[in-house]
Amino acid sequence: MLSPVLCSELSALEPEYTEADVISTVEFSQSGEFLATGDKGGRVVIFQREPQGEYNVYSTFQSHDPEFDYLKSLEIEEKINKIRWLPQLHSALFLLTTNDKTIKLWKVSERDKQPEGYNLKDEEGRVKDISKITSLQVPVLRPMDLLVEASPRRVFSNAHAYHINSISINSDCETYLSADDLRINLWNLSITDRSFNIVDLKPDNMEDLTEVITVAEFHPHHCHLLAFSSSTGTTRLCDMRSRALCDQHAKLFEEAVDPASRSFFSELISSVSDVKFSHSGRYLLTRDYLSAKVWDLNMEKKPVETYQVHDYLRSKLCTLYESDCIFDKFECAWNGTDSVIMTGAYNNFFRMFDRASRRDVTLEASREVCKRRAVLRPRRVCIGRKRRESDICVDSLDFRKKVLHTAWHPTDNIIAIAARNNLYIFQDRHSPSGHHGVHRIEQETAPQLEDTPPQ
Amino acid sequence: MRQGKNSVSSIRRTMAGADGDDSLYPIAVLIDELRNEDVQLRLNSIKKLSTIALALGVERTRTELLPFLTDTIYDEDEVLLALAEQLGNFTMLVGGPEYVHCLLPPLESLATVEETVVRDKAVESLRKISHEHSPVDLEVHFEPLVKRLASGDWFTSRTSACGLFSVCYPRVSSTVKAEIRQHFRNLCSDDTPMVRRAAASKLGEFAKVLELDYVKSDIISLFTALASDEQDSVRLLAVEACVSIATLLPQEDLETLVMPTLRQAAEDKSWRVRYMVADKFSELQKAVGPEITKNDLVPAFQNLLKDCEAEVRAAAANKVKEFCENLPEDSRETIIMTHILPCVKELVSDTNQHVKSALASVIMGLSTILGKDNTIEHLLPLFLAQLKDECPEVRLNIISNLDCVNEVIGIRQLSQSLLPAIVELAEDAKWRVRLAIIEYMPLLAGQLGVEFFDEKLNSLCMAWLVDHVYAIREAATCNLTKLVEKFGAEWAQNTIVPKVLGMANDPNYLHRMTTLFCINALSEACGQEITTKHMLPVVLKMSNDQVANVRFNVAKSLQKIGPVLDSNSLQTEVKPVLEKLAADQDIDVKYFAQEAISVLALA
C-alpha cells in the first residue's frame, strides 16, 4: 500500500471559508498530469503536476452559475456534481462538468502568441493619423506569456427532470451518459440538442416509486456496457448491444440481506453511493454507507470482497439519521493496478484496503496532522477504552468533517483527498516521481500497516 | 494570375502616388478587424479575405498574410470555418497553380483543430486545391502533408488525413502509392476509435481509386478487420463501406470476399450494426446483384423484419417497398408472397408503434408491385387492420398513401373502413393529429369524389371551422379553398358558402371572425358574382359588430376582397362602410380601415 506524504495542500489560505468553497468533486485526468476539482460555488480548478511531483494551479474558471427555473419555480444550484475528463486526444484539454441540470463541455487550452501591428492605431490603441498611412501592414504573431484559457464548447441542457448525479464518458470517445434520479440519457459529445433515454425507472404512478438511481458509469473498455446502482443497494449491468432501451438489465449484482439483521436503517445504509469499474474492467467497486464491496462481473449473487469502512457506526445509526449524516454519499477509488481501494469516512479520515494482503489503514487528512514531507501516521478508532495515545474514541469523532470525495492517480501512487474546502494530495514516500512496481511498494510499507481489528 | 498582378500594380501605384491614399483606408480597416475583439467583425473580415489578398498582392499574401493565418488557430469555430472555406478558393490570389502549395500550411493547421466542422471544411478545401497541384508539386508538397497528418500526435490530424488519401493516390508514383496504402492501413488499426471511424468511413472512397488487385488484397482485409472491430461505432461504418466495395468487385468475387462479412454484420450482436444494415439495405441489394439477393439477402431481410429490437424492425419496415421493387423480376412475386408478406403481416400487429407507422408509410406501395388480385386478397386486410390501429400516426400514414391503392383496385374497396378512420382522426384529442388529417382532405376528396364527400365528409370540414384551436380553424379555412378549387364555384355556393355565412351570427366572436377569414380565402376561388351577391352583404353588416377585433377584420376583409368586386359596389357599398370604420373609436379599427381605403384607392 502507501506511506503517504503530503505533496500539495491546496485550499483557501484563510481558515475562514464559505460554503461555496466546499469541494464537491475531485477527478484526475487520464494521464494523471492534471487534476480537477469542482466546488459548491460552481468553480472548477485545474492543477498540473510539476516535474518535481507537486501539483500547482493551472487554470481556474467559473463553470456554472446559479439559475432559476421559472416553469417549476425552482432554484438551480451552481454546485458542480461531477467532473469527467475526456481522454486527451488533442493539445487542448477537454472536460465535462455538471450541476443538477446542465452539463457543459469545457476546453482548456494554452496560447503563447499574440498578434501585433495595427494599420489605424498603435499598440496602445491611439488612433493614427489616417493621412499618414501609406502602406498596409499585416499583423504578425509574437510570443507572449503563456495564457491558459477555458472556454465552454457545448452546453447540454433540458434533458433531465431530476438532479443529475453522474456523467461518464464512453470508451468510444463519441458518446457519454448522464444519470439523474430516475433516468439515464445517452449523448453524443458533439450534439447538444438531443439525447437518447436508455434507462427509465419512472413508474406511471409516482406513488409506486421504490428506488432511485444513485450513480452510473460506463465500462472502461467495452463501449456497450454500463453499470448503474440504486438506493436499494443493487447494481445493474446493462448491455447496450441487445436493445436500444436498457430498462432490462443484463446482470444484477445484489447481496441477500439476512432477514434477522433487518432494521429501520437497513435500506438507508445499503443505498449505493458510488460505483467504479476497476481499470482492468473485470471488477466493480461499490460503496454503501458502512462498507465497500468488490464484485466480480462474473458473479452476481455476492461480492468477492467486502471491506468494513466504519462498522463502529452501526450502533450510532439513529444519531446519524437525525443529523442527516446517513445520507452522506461517500465515493470510492481504485489504485492504478486495482490492488488497493480507497474510500472516505468521518473525522477527516480516509481508508485504504489492500486486496491481496487484506491489510487496511485509516489515515487522517487535516491541517493539524499533515506536515509537509512527513509520513502520515495511521489512526485507529476504538469502541471502548483507548489502547494507545493516538487512538480516537467513536464518541469523539467529528461527523461534520467528512471525506466524501477521493481520487487516485490513474497510474502512480498519488491520491487526492477533498475535505471541505481543503484538497490534500499525497504521494507515496517511496516514489518521489514516476512509476513504481506495486510489488516493491507493498513489501516496503507492510510494517506500517495494521492488521484489521477483529470484529 | 495576370489579372492578379495588374490589380496589385495598380494599387502599388496609388500607394506610391501620394501620402495617405483614401483607397487604402477600407483595406486597412479590414486587416485591423482580422484581430478585432468582436467575433462578428473578425468573421466579416475573414469573409472578405480575398479583398485583402488582392490589395496586398500575391507576393505579400504569400509571405505575410498566409503565415499570419497559419497561426490564427486560436479563434472561434465560426471564424476558422470561414477561413477554411476561403482558403479553398485562394489559388489565384497567391499567384496561381504554381504557388498553390503556399496554401497548405494554413490548411494543415486548420485540419488539426479539435472542432470537427472546421477540420472537415479544411479537408474539403485541401481536396479542392489538390487538383490544382501539378503532379510534381503533389509529390513534393501535398503528399508529405498527408503523411505528416497521418502520423500526427493528435487524433485530429490523423482523422483529417483519412479524407486526403483518395485525392492524391491516383496522381502519384507507384512508390508513393505503396506508402499511402501503408499509411491507410496504419490508420485502420489506430488506437483511438475516432481515427478508426474516420478510416472506416473513407474506406469505400479510397477503394474506388485503388487498383482492383489492391482492393482485393488490401481493402478486403481492412474491411474485414474494421467490420469486426471491438467498437460498435466502427463496425457500423464498415456496413457503409460494404456498399462501395461490393460495387467495385466482380460478381464472382463477392461471395468469398464480401458476403461472409455482410452476413456477420446482419447478425451482429449490437442492434446498432443491424440497424445500419437495415438502413442501407436497398443500396446493399443493388451492390450485390440479383443472385446473391435471392440467396442471401432475402433471408437476412426476413430476420431484420423479425429483429428483437424495434429500431431495427422499423428501419427494415421502411425498406419493404424498395426491397420488393428491386427484386429480380422473374422471381419477385414468389419471393414477396412466400417470404416477405408473412413477415409484413406480423409487423402490422407489432407491439411498437414506430414499427407499425414505418410499415404503414410504405405498405400501400406493394399494391402496384403485386397487382389487383393479390392486393385484394392479401394486402387489403392489412390496410383495413392498419386503418383501425390504435396509433393515429399509423392511420394517417395509410390515408396519406391512398393514391397508390386507388390506381390498382380503386378506393371503393376501402371506403367503408376509411370513413370511420377519418372521422376518428378528425375528432382526435390531439390537435396535431386533427391538423394532419385536414391536410389530407383535398387529396381524399379527389380520390373519393364529390358525392361521397358531400355525404360523409363535408360536415367534418365544417366542424373544424369552429374548433377551439386556432391552428385547426386556420387549416380548415385553407382546406375549404382547396376543395373549392377541386369541386368548383357552383358546388361552393350550394354547400359551403351558406354554412360559412351562417356563422356570421354566431354568439362567439371567434367564430364570427372565422366567417371573415373564410371569405378572405374563398372570394377569389368563388368569383365576382358569389362574392358580390352573397359574401359582401354579410361583411358589410358585420362592420357594426360590437367587438373591435371583428370590426378591424371587416376592414382587412374588405381590402382583401376589394379586387374581386366591381367598381360600382366598391364606391357605393364598400367606401361608406370603410369611411365609417375609419372614424371608429378603436385605434386598430381606424388603422386598418385607413389602410384599406388607401390600398383600394377609395380616398
Q: What is the pTM of this model?
A: 0.82
Question: Smallest Cβ distance to B270: which of A134, A137, A241?
Answer: A241
Per-residue pLDDT, B288:
93
| B483 in Cβ contact with B522 (< 8 Å) | no
Q: What is the mean pLDDT of chain A?
A: 86
Average pLDDT over residues A217-240: 95
Taking every pair of C-alpha atoms in chain B, what is the biggest distance, in angstroms? 92
Amino acid found at A124: E
**Which of B437, B519, B504, B517 minimizes the C-alpha distance to B470?**
B517
Kind of pairing between the strands at A392-393 and A381-382: parallel
Selected residue of B7, B13, B21, B31 to mutate for chain A interface (largest A Cβ count, 10 A): B31
Interface check for A146 against chain B (CB to CB < 8 A): the answer is no
**Min Cα–Cα distance to chain A from B309, Å:** 6
Neighbour count for residue B281 (Cβ, 10 Å): 24
Question: Smallest Cβ distance to B32: which of A118, A129, A173?
Answer: A118
Beta-carbon separation of B55 and A136 below 8 A: yes
Angle at alpha carbon of residue B331, lines to B329 and B334, rounded to 5°: 125
pLDDT(B213) > 90: yes
Beta-carbon separation of A171 and B272 below 8 A: no
**DSSP calls for A235-288:** EEEEETTT-S---S-SEEE-PPPPGGG--TTHHHHHS--EEEE-TTSSEEEEE-
Q: Cα(B184)–Cα(B202) distance, rounded to whole angstroms? A: 10
| Residues in chain B closer than 8 A to A92 (CB atoms) | 114
pLDDT(B566) > 80: yes
* Banded pLDDT at B460 (limits 50, 70, 90): confident
Q: Helical H runs in B228-258?
A: 232-248, 251-257
Q: Cα(B349)–Cα(B346) distance, rounded to whole angstroms? A: 6
* Banded pLDDT at A198 (limits 50, 70, 90): very high
Query: What are the angstrom distances between the C-alpha of A392 and each of A123, A333, A386?
Result: 65, 25, 7
**Min Cα–Cα distance to chain B from A186, Å:** 14
The residue in chain B having the minimum alpha-carbon distance to the alpha carbon of residue A191 is B116
**Min Cα–Cα distance to chain A from B96, Å:** 21
Q: What is the mean pLDDT of chain B?
A: 89
Angle at alpha carbon of residue A299, lines to A295 and A304, rounded to 5°: 40
Give the number of residues written for chain B: 603
Beta-carbon separation of B24 and A172 below 8 A: no
Q: Cα(A413)–Cα(A398) distance, rounded to whole angstroms? A: 28
Lateral strand order in the sheet of A213-218: A213-218, A225-230, A235-239, A251-253
Residue with cell 466493480: A284
| B41 in Cβ contact with B77 (< 8 Å) | no
| A415 in Cβ contact with A342 (< 8 Å) | yes
Buried b (16+ CB within 10 A) or exposed e, B175-194: ebbebbbebbeebbebebbb
Give the number of residues written for chain A: 455
Question: Smallest Cβ distance to A138: which of B68, B271, B272?
Answer: B68
Beta-carbon separation of A242 and B272 below 8 A: no
Per-residue pLDDT, A10:
63
Angle at alpha carbon of residue B394, lines to B389 and B396, rounded to 5°: 110
pLDDT(B210) > 50: yes
Q: Which three cell numbers stand for residue B3?
A: 489579372
Q: Cα(A313)–Cα(A322) distance, rounded to whole angstroms? A: 14
Residue with cell 504578425: A140
Average pLDDT over residues B354-380: 92
Interface check for A121 against chain B (CB to CB < 8 A): the answer is yes
pLDDT(B242) > 90: yes
**Min Cα–Cα distance to chain B from A141, Å:** 7
* Banded pLDDT at B8 (limits 50, 70, 90): very low
Residue B293 CA, chain-centre distance (Å), reads: 30
Average pLDDT over residues B170-182: 94
| B335 in Cβ contact with B294 (< 8 Å) | yes
Per-residue pLDDT, A430:
66
Per-residue pLDDT, A9:
66
The DSSP letter of residue B329 is G
Buried b (16+ CB within 10 A) or exposed e, B110-138: bbbbbbeebbbbbbebbebbbebbeeebb
Q: Cα(A85)–Cα(B50) distance, rounded to whole angstroms? A: 40
* 171-210 of A, contacting B, C-beta below 8 A: 171-174, 190
**Min Cα–Cα distance to chain A from B94, Å:** 15
**Min Cα–Cα distance to chain A from B346, Å:** 20
pLDDT in tens, A256-314: 877 887 888 988 999 999 999 999 999 999 999 999 999 999 999 999 999 999 999 99
**Min Cα–Cα distance to chain A from B156, Å:** 7
Residue with cell 375609419: B582
pLDDT in tens, A65-87: 999 988 889 899 999 999 999 99
**Min Cα–Cα distance to chain B from A59, Å:** 17
Interface check for A50 against chain B (CB to CB < 8 A): the answer is no
| A425 in Cβ contact with A55 (< 8 Å) | yes
| Residues in chain A closer than 8 A to B25 (CB atoms) | 130, 133
Average pLDDT over residues A346-368: 91
| A423 in Cβ contact with A26 (< 8 Å) | yes
Beta-carbon separation of B271 and A140 below 8 A: no
Question: Smallest Cβ distance to B233: which of A140, A172, A243?
Answer: A172
Selected residue of A172, A187, A198, A243 to mutate for chain B interface (largest B Cβ count, 10 A): A172
pLDDT in tens, B104-163: 999 999 999 989 999 999 999 999 999 999 999 999 999 999 999 999 999 999 999 999
Q: Which three cell numbers stand for residue B209?
A: 481509386
Q: Which three cell numbers stand for residue B230?
A: 471491438
Q: Cα(B395)–Cα(B426) distance, rounded to whole angstroms? A: 12
In the three-class reduction of DSSP (H, G, I as helix; E, B as strand; rest coil), residue A59 is classed as strand
Beta-carbon separation of A139 and B31 below 8 A: yes
Per-residue pLDDT, A348:
92
pLDDT in tens, B133-147: 999 999 999 999 999
Per-residue pLDDT, B22:
66
Per-residue pLDDT, A449:
31
> Among A373-382, B16-25, B488-497, which is the least confidently predicted range?
B16-25
Per-residue pLDDT, A8:
66
Helix (H) or strand (E) holding B42: helix B39-47
Beta-carbon separation of B32 and A240 below 8 A: no
**Min Cα–Cα distance to chain B from A236, Å:** 19
Q: Which of the given ranges, A111-120, B196-205, B394-403, has the highest pLDDT on average?
A: B196-205
Average pLDDT over residues A416-431: 85
Higher pLDDT residue, A133 or B271? B271
Strand partners, A352: A342, A361
Q: Which of the given ranges, B274-283, B462-471, B529-538, has the highest pLDDT on average?
A: B274-283
In the three-class reduction of DSSP (H, G, I as helix; E, B as strand; rest coil), residue B411 is classed as coil
Q: Helical H runs in B249-388?
A: 251-257, 259-266, 271-279, 281-292, 298-305, 310-318, 320-325, 332-335, 341-348, 353-360, 366-374, 380-387
The dihedral built from the CA positions of residue B35, B39, B41 and B42, taken in this order, carries a sign that is: positive
Beta-carbon separation of B32 and A121 below 8 A: yes
Beta-carbon separation of B19 and A134 below 8 A: yes
Q: Cα(A244)–Cα(A185) distance, rounded to whole angstroms? A: 11
pLDDT in tens, B484-520: 988 888 888 888 888 888 888 899 999 999 999 999 9
Strand partners, B74: none
- Please state, for a pLDDT cut of 90, what percent of chain B lies above it: 64
Q: Cα(B50)–Cα(B29) distance, rounded to whole angstroms? A: 14
Per-residue pLDDT, A377:
82
Alpha-carbon dihedral A89, A57, A79, A106, rounded to 10 degrees = -30
| Residues in chain B closer than 8 A to A140 (CB atoms) | 64, 68
| Residues in chain B closer than 8 A to A91 (CB atoms) | 154
- How many CA atoms, within 13 angstroms, populate the side-chain half-sphere of residue A163? 15
Beta-carbon separation of B310 and A90 below 8 A: no
pLDDT(A33) > 70: yes
Count A/B contacts: CB-CB distance under 8 Å. Answer: 114
Phi (first) and psi of residue B251, to 5 degrees: -50, -40
Q: Which three cell numbers stand for residue B297?
A: 439477402
Per-residue pLDDT, A15:
57
Which residues, 6+ apart, have CB-to-CB distance to A158 below 8 Å? none
Selected residue of A136, A174, A198, A239 to mutate for chain B interface (largest B Cβ count, 10 A): A136
Per-residue pLDDT, B119:
95
**DSSP calls for B501-540:** HHGGG-SSHHHHHHHHHHHHHHHHHH-HHHIIIIIHHHHH
Q: Which residues of B make CB contacts under 8 Å with A?
A: 15, 19-21, 24-25, 27-29, 31-32, 34-35, 55-56, 60, 64-65, 68, 71-72, 74, 114-116, 154-156, 192-194, 197, 230-233, 269-272, 308-311
Question: Smallest Cβ distance to B68: which of A89, A94, A140?
Answer: A140
Per-residue pLDDT, A263:
84
A334: left (phi over 0), alpha (psi -120 to 50) or beta: beta
Question: Smallest Cβ distance to B68: which of A90, A92, A139?
Answer: A139
| A404 in Cβ contact with A328 (< 8 Å) | yes
pLDDT(B59) > 80: yes
The DSSP letter of residue B133 is S
Phi (first) and psi of residue B303, to 5 degrees: -65, -40
| Residues in chain A closer than 8 A to B271 (CB atoms) | 241-244
Q: Cα(A240)–Cα(A245) distance, rounded to whole angstroms? A: 8
The residue in chain A having the minimum alpha-carbon distance to the alpha carbon of residue B68 is A140
| Burial classification of residue B384, based on how many CB atoms lie within 10 Å of its CB (0-12 exposed, 13-18 middle, 19 or more buried) | middle
Q: Which three cell numbers stand for residue B593?
A: 380601415
The DSSP letter of residue A189 is T
